[in-house]
Amino acid sequence: MKYRKLPVVIEAIQLAGNREDVLVWIGRGGGRAVPTVDGLGIAINTLEGSMVASPTDWIIRGVKGEYYPCRADIFAATYEEGPE
């Protein structure tokens, strides 16, 4: 059998160049994240445990309010800009 994802609207922000803004955004939404030791990325508490987001990754807030990183190429292939 084949299945198609249901269309959903998510919120996301790219980590590129604005790590503090991303940390604030995650915190305001009830998530938890901290800068990585190297100072480039952030470690995000996800439903699967801690995941590291690299500087070009997108951070997604899922349909249940959970946060997780997504590589830029996967994000571009999976999502398109939606309504504000």
* pLDDT averages per 10-residue partition of the chain, 84 residues: 84 89 95 92 94 95 94 93 76
pTM for this model (two decimals): 0.86
The pLDDT value given to residue 58: 96
The pLDDT value given to residue 75: 94
The pLDDT value given to residue 54: 94
**Residues near 68 by beta carbon (within 8 Å), at least 6 away in sequence:** 44, 46, 47, 48, 51, 59, 60, 62
- In angstroms, the CA 21 to CA 29 distance is 12
The pLDDT value given to residue 65: 93
